[in-house]
Amino acid sequence: MAKYKLEYIWLDGKTPIPELRGKTTLKDFATPPTLADVPLWGFDGSSTMQAEGKSSDCILKPVALYPDAARKSAYLVLSEVMHPDGTPHPSNMRATAPDDPDMWFGFEQEYFLYKDGRPLGFPEAGFPGPQGPYYCGVGYKYMGSVARTIVEEHLDLCLHAGINHEGINAEVAKGQWEFQIFGKGSHKAADDLWIARYLMMRLCEKYEVDVEWHCKPIRGDWNGSGMHTNFSSKYLREVGGKEHFEVLMEAFAKNKEAHIAVYGPDNHLRLTGHHETQSIDRFSYGLSDRGASIRMPVNFIRNGYRGYLEDRRPNSEADPYQIVSQIIKTIESVGEPVLA
Ligand code: ADP
Ligand code: MN
Ligand code: MN
Ligand code: MN
């Protein structure tokens, strides 16, 4: 028997966007555990905005297991929050998100690294040089030193955990970065994204750095942070076609408010029609158009309106479970033929 550290991770009751919580239990296993081996656990919901003090027990139901390279013999146990009777807690958005293995999602998570209440590299008073050289930049005067160290370490932690990280880049504002995660299956992509956020925040503790997920932390001529959500159904990948695409876009236009409602708080500060965004009260789509709500990638039309689409509206703070739920709902409303 060997002892393993199991870090149970869940989302708390904060609204509109939950925060991550985690605690460790130690368990003995003869061989490295699988998801089926890790037990239910519980926590005090009165301390996480999920229960009243007089009946405070909430249940943690493990739903995904990730190797944790930051600790010896350790796993991260992503868990859903349940009532003691086994029904999902109202804060449990994963339970309401359909788990469709044929829906593929790629999230482009943008964020700022902050120190002492301002983006890394910002002077104590005033601003650094204007945007321009920071996007995919190199050199100490643009990037500083600690940011890239964090980004690289985070990438390795995610890869070790089995998260399908697809890339990283420095973003347009100073102190702003992005990572991309792709997942086949709506739950897989959203689960991986929450764990990647957890790993980033935990890692940053030792550098005395905060991760700022808000979509518009600096006013003025500084980019906000989005979480472009690339999506494809099996039908969109394999059949597609102009007619189908136009019907789908009509459904997206019709459901504009329902999408914006789950695309993250304060999005009106970011979706202004400037800084590569469409304004929050409009819906548009276009080929390679970074000022549209939905962008068709460069080869989409050439491939017969087939492939994936990029919804540019979700923001950096949004809950991926709610994003995938709404996208699936809108796609289902047009009744795509089911493919074998
Ligand atoms: P850009 O910055 O140009 O918008 P990125 O390269 O940052 O593009 O992100 C594109 C994303 O699209 C990647 O995260 C990738 O995983 C995702 N993607 C690629 N193919 C598909 C697909 N068939 N379905 C869903 N997402 C996809
Ligand atoms: Mn990108
Ligand atoms: Mn980006
Ligand atoms: Mn993008």
The pLDDT tens digits of the residues spanning 51-63 come to 987 788 999 999 9
From residue 55, give the alpha-carbon distance in Å to each of 20, 44, 45, 58, 83: 22, 9, 9, 9, 10
- Does 127 share its domain with 64? no
> Checking DSSP bridges between strand 309-311 and strand 227-232, what pairing results, if any?
antiparallel
> At 279, is the pLDDT very low, low, confident or very high (cuts 50, 70, 90)?
very high
Asked whether residue 69 is domain-assigned, the answer is yes
- Does 115 share its domain with 83? no
Q: Which pLDDT value is given to residue 339?
A: 83
Distance CA(189)–CA(163), nearest Å, equals 9
- Does 124 share its domain with 40? no
Q: What is the CATH number of the domain that holds 9?
A: 3.10.20.70
- Number of folded domains in the chain? 2
CB distance 229 to ligand 1 below 6 Å: no
Ligand nearest to the CA of 311: 4
The pLDDT tens digits of the residues spanning 176-234 come to 999 999 999 999 999 999 999 999 999 999 999 999 999 999 988 999 999 999 999 99
Indicate which residue's Cα is closest to atom 13 of ligand 1.
106
Peptide bond just before 101 cis, omega within 30 deg: no
Q: How many CB atoms lie within 10 A of CB 7?
A: 19
CB distance 180 to ligand 1 below 6 Å: yes
CB distance 106 to ligand 1 below 6 Å: yes
Question: Which of 109, 135, 171, 182 has most ligand 1 atoms within 8 Å of CB, for mutation?
Answer: 182
Distance CA(166)–CA(159), nearest Å, equals 10
**For residues 288 and 298, is the Cβ–Cβ distance under 8 A?**
yes
- Boundary (domain end) residue, out of 33, 57, 91: 91
- Does 67 share its domain with 213? no
- Over 80: is that where the pLDDT of 340 sits? no
- Does 124 share its domain with 253? yes
Asked whether residue 111 is domain-assigned, the answer is yes
List of long-range contacts for 43-47, beta carbons under 8 Å, 24+ apart? 43/8, 43/10, 45/13, 45/81, 45/89
- Does 123 share its domain with 225? yes
Rounded to the nearest integer, the mean pLDDT of the chain is 96
Ligand 1: distance of its center to the CA of 287 in Å?
A: 15
Asked whether residue 323 is domain-assigned, the answer is yes
Distance CA(312)–CA(72), nearest Å, equals 39
- Does 79 share its domain with 147? no
Ligand nearest to the CA of 228: 4
Asked whether residue 337 is domain-assigned, the answer is no
Q: Which pLDDT value is given to residue 102?
A: 96
Ligand 3: distance of its center to the CA of 222 in Å?
A: 13
- Boundary (domain end) residue, out of 64, 91, 118: 91
Ligand nearest to the CA of 106: 1
- Does 43 share its domain with 165? no
Asked whether residue 340 is domain-assigned, the answer is no
Asked whether residue 316 is domain-assigned, the answer is yes
The pLDDT tens digits of the residues spanning 117-154 come to 999 999 999 999 999 999 999 999 999 989 999 999 99
- Does 23 share its domain with 143? no
- Boundary (domain end) residue, out of 38, 64, 91: 91
Asked whether residue 257 is domain-assigned, the answer is yes
Structural domain boundaries, residue 161: 104-332
Q: Which pLDDT value is given to residue 201?
A: 98
Q: How many CB atoms lie within 10 A of CB 158?
A: 22
Indicate which residue's Cα is closest to atom 2 of ligand 1.
108
**For residues 305 and 244, is the Cβ–Cβ distance under 8 A?**
yes
**For residues 210 and 115, is the Cβ–Cβ distance under 8 A?**
yes
Provide the percentage of residues in the chain whose pLDDT is more than 90.
Answer: 95
User: Coil, helix or strand for 53?
Assistant: helix
- Over 90: is that where the pLDDT of 276 sits? no
- Does 16 share its domain with 116? no
- Does 69 share its domain with 212? no
- Over 80: is that where the pLDDT of 79 sits? yes
Ligand 3: distance of its center to the CA of 184 in Å?
A: 21
Around ion ligand 2, residues with a beta carbon closer than 5 Å are 108
Question: Which of 308, 312, 316 has most ligand 1 atoms within 8 Å of CB, for mutation?
Answer: 308
CB distance 228 to ligand 1 below 6 Å: yes
Ligand 1 atom at minimum distance from 232 CA = 24
Burial of 207: CB neighbours in 10 Å, binned 0-12, 13-18, 19+: middle
CB distance 43 to ligand 1 below 6 Å: no
Q: What is the CATH number of the domain that holds 288?
A: 3.30.590.10
Helix or strand run (H / E) with residue 161: helix 146-161
Give me the mean pLDDT over the 21-28 stretch.
98
- Does 84 share its domain with 188? no
Asked whether residue 97 is domain-assigned, the answer is no
Ligand 3: distance of its center to the CA of 84 in Å?
A: 41
CB distance 104 to ligand 1 below 6 Å: yes
**For residues 151 and 177, is the Cβ–Cβ distance under 8 A?**
yes
- Over 90: is that where the pLDDT of 69 sits? yes
